Structure 1
Amino acid sequence: MCQISAVLERDDSRETIMEGVTGLEVTDEGVSLTTFFEDPKLVPDVTIARIDFLGGAVVLVPREQAQGE
Structure 2
Amino acid sequence: MCQMSIIVEKDGREEVVLKNAAQLEVVEEGIKVSALFEEPLIIADVFVNRIDFLDGEVRLKHRS
TM-score bracket for the superposition, by shorter chain length: over 0.9
Runs of 4 or more off by more than 3 Å in structure 1? none
Q: State the SS of the aligned residue for 1:14.
A: strand
Cα offset, 1:14, TM superposition: 0.4
Q: Could you tell me how far apart the structure 2 residues matched to 1:5 and 1:27 are?
A: 19
Matching residue of 1:15: 15
Q: Could you tell me how far apart the structure 2 residues matched to 1:11 and 1:54 are?
A: 25
TM-score normalized by the length of structure 2: 0.95
Higher strand fraction (1 or 2): 2
Cα offset, 1:11, TM superposition: 1.8
Q: State the SS of the aligned residue for 1:22.
A: strand
Matching residue of 2:32: 32
Q: Could you tell me how far apart the structure 2 residues matched to 1:46 and 1:61 are?
A: 5
Q: Could you tell me how far apart the structure 2 residues matched to 1:24 and 1:12 are?
A: 23
Matching residue of 1:3: 3
Identity %: 41
| Unmatched runs of 5 consecutive residues or more in structure 2 | none
Matching residue of 1:67: none
